[in-house]
């Protein structure tokens, strides 16, 4: 009897973890994305050219993904047709070139935390692009569609608020000694092209959203070959 209860509880736990797995992965992705922005900002502040950083970032990603693509997708390797090659080139132009290039440029005029916050608009932009190209359908009477529309409006409102409004500097307990520095550098901060930096980041988010729409709606021979395609566009870009 006890063994049956343990097996049932273990089965329920496994089912629950299977349902929670996508959400846990998305949360982990957000932590990784935030860390990436902080490391990238620190690297750029130390003098590295943003184009060099983009090359290093994608070369490292290609080297990491290549073994998984060779092992997991070895038996389902698609042929490199002209349409497949063109699809990979467009993906490489959208994400590494436009997205990362303009995002790093926008970070130069704003900050890593600001870029990470604005990039949270990517799901909403992806939804709008998917609706425009009829990849996503909106049925306003369904709760799911209503949630998507409301979430999109809230996200855009938050991005607009962060763009147009800059609040006062808050001196924390451990930062009171640097308040004079903030006051002396306030004129320099006000001269930064904050709106221009935000527009660059938003342009990068549009490119990233277009990348998602194109990657997850490829021609039929490419369905299921996500790892290999990701590795290829990082190489061919």
pLDDT on residue 90: 87
For 218, phi then psi, to 5°, come to -85, 175
CB atoms within 10 A of CB 15: 10
Answering whether pTM is above 0.85, one says no
**Of 30, 77, 29, 36, which is closest to residue 232 (Cα–Cα)?**
77
Query: Going residue by residue through the chain (237 aa), what tens digit of pLDDT does each one get?
Result: 545 555 566 677 778 888 888 888 888 887 888 888 888 888 888 888 888 999 898 888 888 888 887 787 777 766 778 887 888 888 888 888 899 999 999 888 888 878 888 887 888 888 888 888 888 888 888 888 888 888 888 888 887 777 666 666 666 555 554 444 444 445 445 445 778 888 899 899 999 989 888 877 654 444 445 545 554 444 444
User: Residue 225 and residue 212: Cα distance in Å, rounded?
Assistant: 14
pLDDT on residue 18: 83
Q: How far is CA 26 from CA 21, 29, 170, in A?
A: 9, 5, 31
In 6-73, which ranges are E strands? Answer: none
Would you kindly state where each structural domain of the chain is located, as residue ranges? 48-166+188-236
User: Residue 181 and residue 190: Cα distance in Å, rounded?
Assistant: 14
Pair 233, 86: CB distance under 8 Å:
no
Cα 106 to chain centroid, rounded: 15
CB atoms within 10 A of CB 209: 22
């Amino acid at each position: 009897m006890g063994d049956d209860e343990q097996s049932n509880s273990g089965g329920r736990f496994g089912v629950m973890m299977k349902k929670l797995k996508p959400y846990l992965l998305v949360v982990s992705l957000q932590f990784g994305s935030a860390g990436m922005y902080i490391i990238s900002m620190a690297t750029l502040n130390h003098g590295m050219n943003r184009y060099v950083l983009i090359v290093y970032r994608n070369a490292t990603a290609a080297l990491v993904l290549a073994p998984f693509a060779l092992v997991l997708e070895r038996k389902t390797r698609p042929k490199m047709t002209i349409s497949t090659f063109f699809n990979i080139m467009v993906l490489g132009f959208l994400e590494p070139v436009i997205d990362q290039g303009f995002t790093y440029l926008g970070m130069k005029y704003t900050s890593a935390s600001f870029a990470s916050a604005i990039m949270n608009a990517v799901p909403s932009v992806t939804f709008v692009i998917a609706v425009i190209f009829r990849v996503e359908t909106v049925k306003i009477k369904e709760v799911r569609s209503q949630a998507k529309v409301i979430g999109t409006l809230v996200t855009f409102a938050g991005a607009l608020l962060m763009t147009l409004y800059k609040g006062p500097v808050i001196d924390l307990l451990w930062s009171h000694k640097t308040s004079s520095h903030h006051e002396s550098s306030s004129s320099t901060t006000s001269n930064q092209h904050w709106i221009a930096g935000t527009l660059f980041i938003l342009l990068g988010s549009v490119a990233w959203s277009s990348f998602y729409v194109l990657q997850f709606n490829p021609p039929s021979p490419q369905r299921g070959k996500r790892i290999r395609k990701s590795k290829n566009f990082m190489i061919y870009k």
